[in-house]
Amino acid sequence: MAELPADIAALSFEDALGELDRIVRALEGGATKLDDAIKAYERGALLRGHCEAKLKEAEARVERIVLGTGGTVGLEPALPSQ
Amino acid sequence: MTDTPASNVPEFSVSEISGALRRTVEETFSLVRVRGEISGFKRHSSGHLYFALKDAEAVLDAVCWRGQAGRLACVPEDGLEVIATGRLTIYPGRSKYQMVVERMEIAGKGALLKLLEDRRKKLTAEGLFDPARKRPLPFLPTVIGVITSPTGAVIRDILHRLAERFPRRVLLWPVAVQGEGAAEQIAAAITGFDALAPGGAVPRPDLLIVARGGGSIEDLWAFNEEVVVRAAAACRIPLISAVGHETDTTLIDFAADLRAPTPTAAAEKAVPVRADLLAQLAETGGRLTGAATRGLSLRRERLDGLARALPSPRAAIEDRARRLDERAERLRLALPTLLLRRRAEVDRLAHALARAVATAKARLERDRLRLTQTGERLKPAVVRCLAEHGRTLDTQAKLLESLSYKRVLDRGFAVLRGEDGTVVSSTHGAEPGQALSVEVKDGRIAVRVEGTPRKPAGKARTDQRQADLF
């Protein structure tokens, strides 16, 4: 896939999905000009890839806040006691 | 010294008796729980708390040293009915006894609920629970901060449900969720998360969950404390409160952006179900491809349809070429055909002319013959004719002669004429005095009419008679 444009990369999953949905509706409506339709499809494909990437980031990582001296906040891996 | 029974009573100095009393009291009441209403509450600048516990009958002075004051499970205030735990002591210098309070809890559910209600009203009036302050939760948070006890079922339930729905990065800020100092820890954790800068070493969560399992109202009391409520209200990160069971309500629930009935429910509110999203995305992706493909094929069909409707230039040219060829052929044939037709016409006319000439010649011949023949018959015919006419003339002349009036004159009749020569055959035109001439066989006699005729018939006769007489 082509380099993800910055404006798409900055989108939240929800916003990207919302825009993808609008593009699909517009394309399904069939009223788009051909050039616009192709551009819309390309953007839709990028949005879809972005959404998929967002969904792939499904790593569960649990860390625990540790307070250092002077109120600094740090992290340490935490496996909560079962 | 007098040895009296009274003197048998040992004698104490003030200090001794005070010290004895103090020892007795402190040994006897080294650990007591006293229930009473706080009155005359005063927080000294040193951090020590001074107040009195009272009921309807009595008053007990009390003090809470600074070390304990920060760790009390509830914040003392006037009118609050509490159960204070501590020891009794005596201050000999003022002949006063007092209670040194080490722990304090709110006494009685009714009192707690009243306090809760009063506090809720106060904070509501401040606008802390204003719906306009609520922030929408992110649809899919990247980092979730959880403020709860590091041990126990709550954090386990939350992590479990998050893993089921959509595994996320979780930062746990461990706190005590009940007991002394719990409220301060919870408030500090909320404020601490909110203070994290985006992009720092510790990632700033985009969602907070403040959670605790079920318990009594006293167990959950930390979440009713103002410091916690205020921290939650001030927090700029969307915050879900999940304290106790579904029926439990604490003040942090009013300040939170969303109240979840249980910690598990908080995890459900925090993240969507990844599998659902994957399915939805796959479906939308399919629709995207389908719509694009359909859009293209639709356009292709329309183009084909229009192209079919568009007349083909080659066909048009071919058609015209065919028509041109056809006309050229007709042109090529036209002249010879025309000549042929004209020649036929000429031939036909020539024949007709020859026939006409022959016919005319024949008729001329015939006429000439007839002329010759007729000419030959002409002379005798003329002679005959003249002779015949001559005879006829003679006959007629004789007849004419025989019919002439002169013959009548010969026989004695006369013709009466007027001066102008017209015949007068009646009395009309014969006026008296008129000159007439009478023709007879050999000449004319001039006469004149006499008198005046009375009646035409008689007169004429008379005239004729007179003429005769004359």
pLDDT per residue as tens digits for the range A62-78: 888 888 877 788 888 87
Nearest to A58 among B166, B280, B295 (CB): B166
CA–CA separation, B277 and A20 (whole Å)? 13
Whether residue B372 is contained in a domain is answered as no
Range of the domain at B141: 134-272
With a cut of 80, say whether residue A31 has pLDDT above it.
no
- Nearest alpha carbon to residue B224 among B239, B209, B243, B207: B243
Asked if the Cβ–Cβ distance from A20 to B284 is below 8 Å, we say yes
Say yes or no: A31 contacts chain B, CB-CB below 8 A.
Answer: no
Which of the listed residues B107, B122, B154 is the one where a domain comes to its end?
A: B107
Name every chain B residue with its beta carbon within 8 A of the beta carbon of A28: 287, 291, 294
Please give the ipTM for the structure prediction: 0.78
Q: B388 in a domain, yes or no?
A: no
Q: Is A37 on the interface with B (CB under 8 A)?
A: yes
Q: The CATH number of the domain where B30 resides is what? A: 2.40.50.140
Say yes or no: B168 contacts chain A, CB-CB below 8 A: yes
The secondary structure of residue B249, as a DSSP letter, is -
Do B268 and B138 share a structural domain?
A: yes
Share of chain B above pLDDT 70, in %: 94
- Which is more confidently placed, B212 or B411? B212
Predicted pLDDT of residue B208? 96
The per-residue pLDDT for B157 is: 93
Is B237 a residue whose pLDDT tops 50?
A: yes
Closest-CA residue of chain A to B157: A82
CB pair distance less than 8 Å for B281 and A75: no
Within this chain, do residues B98 and B201 fall inside the same structural domain, yes or no?
no
- CB-CB contact of A64 with A78 (8 Å): yes
**Averaged pLDDT for residues B141-145:** 93
Which residue is listed with tokens 């609008």? Answer: A22
| Cβ distance of A37 and B196 shorter than 8 Å | no
Count of domains for chain B: 3
> Of B246, B272, B298, at which residue does a domain stop?
B272
Rounded average pLDDT over A18-35:
85
What's the mean pLDDT in B102-114?
79
Which of B249, B272, B295 is the C-terminal boundary of a domain?
A: B272
Span B272-286, mean pLDDT?
A: 90
Can you name the residues that pair with B174 across neighbouring β-strands? B148
Is the CB of residue B270 less than 8 Å from the CB of residue B207? yes
* Residue with token string 């404020």: B191
Contacts of B293 in chain A (CB under 8 A): none
What is residue B187's predicted lDDT score, i.e. its pLDDT?
A: 95
A55 contacts in B (CB within 8 Å)?
A: 274, 277-278, 281
Q: Is residue B212 part of a domain?
A: yes
Measure in Å the smallest separation between the Cα of B125 and chain A Cα atoms.
33
Q: In the prediction, which pLDDT does B215 show? A: 85
Cα angle at B230 between B227 and B233, to 5 degrees? 150
Residues B140 and B268 in one domain: yes
B447 interfaces chain A, CB cutoff of 8 Å: no
pLDDT at A2: 54
The answer for residues whose C-beta is within 8 angstroms of residue B457's C-beta and 6 or more apart is B427
